[in-house]
Amino acid sequence: MPKLTIFHNQQCSKSRATLKILEEAKGSYSVVNYLETPPTAAELDALLNQLGLEPEAIVRKGEDRYEELGLEAKPPRSRAEWIDVLVKNPILIERPIVTNGKKAVIGRPPENVKALLAID
């Protein structure tokens, strides 16, 4: 099994459940507490490519910060603008994201990570 990386938020129950699946799989993984260590724009761009998603698809629109920034009224238009918003406001990034370096999944539901673990 390849080494995995989880972009984790300890306060999130789905993130904790996804981390538990990784722990039980007894594989090699690393944890990035992305609120403390946000991804760079290049890292986030790579994750989005691995997810096969555009930035707006991983935005947590229910977060207070989304409203504080006025993103509903005037959302960013380009991919680069969205990435910039997410890097500067990592609380808006959907969580958890797990990657093996080539492919990534969002752990919602947590069982999504099993596709990267090659287990059922």
User: CA torsion, points 18, 24, 29, 33, in degrees to nearest 10?
Assistant: 40
pLDDT score of 119 more than 80: no
Q: Is 2 tagged catalytic?
A: no
- pLDDT over 70 percentage in the chain: 97
pLDDT score of 79 more than 90: yes
> Based on the structure, what is the number of domains in the chain?
1
Domain region containing 51: 4-117
User: What pLDDT score does 27 carry?
Assistant: 84
pLDDT score of 29 more than 70: yes
User: What pLDDT score does 69 carry?
Assistant: 96
Spot the catalytic one: 1, 2, 4, 12.
12
Q: Is 72 left (phi over 0), alpha (psi -120 to 50) or beta?
A: alpha
